[in-house]
Amino acid sequence: MFNKRVIFRMGSVTPTDQITKRRDYIEINTSNACKISGNKILMKERFTHGKIPTAKWFIVKSGDLQKRCDTGKYFSEKVSSALNKWKQIIVKRYNSSGGKGIYLISKPEDFDTFFRDPNGCNQCPECLKNYIFEKYYTYSREYRIHVTKDGCFLADRKMLIENAEERWHRHENNSVWISENNELFDKPSNWSEIVNSCVDALKSVGLDIAAFDVKVQNNKHKDPKWIILESNSAPGLGENSLEEYKKILTQIING
């Protein structure tokens, strides 16, 4: 048992003084850290500053937008240049989740499609600042790794279902979760290094506990490369995952 009040945030950005006026409380995940984690642009800035292995990225501003006189299609020299170099680009709204607000650009015309999408920019140049443009990595494995400053306490592999129509990104409607005790988990040979990167990423955004989505090359590579896609201070939890969170939170609270 403990006498102090505990504030544990799962994505909430409500300031502490609006929750309690008491001074004797334990705070797990500050409102500012949740704000940074929930905003992909702020999160990526922290990742870059902390030298976290993540996808190469950039932002497109309204001034970068151009329109072709011959076709009437919108384009960006910044995007076209990156596309020539990277071959494919993923566009993510700053607060995208669950596979929504994410687009794949494989050719210049795809930028025009994204820009005109009613669910995207909807032809609003100013809205471009709300998106990040990332290099698309073809690494075949993706994991969700839950960590505290002491390391990983829970992990799952996210695998595409057999008949998934979209195969370039994994989300709740086209994937299943494989637990660590399943042989299909296929733990990377450099797992400890990946976990250490997740802990560094946790510290870079200021969280105390969070989940990180990580893409990793397959084990045909002697030393698989990986990138941390994003942090998540409010991951969806099943019954077993919830129990693991209860255990780790009790440890944190009891010191």
Question: Mean pLDDT per 10-residue run, the chain (255 residues)?
Answer: 78 90 88 96 97 97 90 92 97 87 93 90 89 96 97 96 86 90 95 98 98 94 93 92 94 87
pLDDT tens across 197-213, in order? 999 999 999 999 999 99
What CATH number corresponds to the domain at position 202? 3.30.470.20
Asked if the structure places residue 62 within a domain, the reply is yes
What pLDDT sits at residue 3? 61
Query: Is 106 in the same domain as 167?
Result: no
Residue 1: predicted pLDDT: 47
Domain count, the chain: 2
For residues 164 and 229, membership in a common domain is answered with: yes
pTM of the shown model: 0.93
Last residue of a domain, one of 86, 115, 135: 135
* Domain contains 6: no
**What pLDDT shows up at residue 64?**
92
**What's the mean pLDDT when you consider all of the chain?**
92
Distance CA 36, CA 56 (A): 18
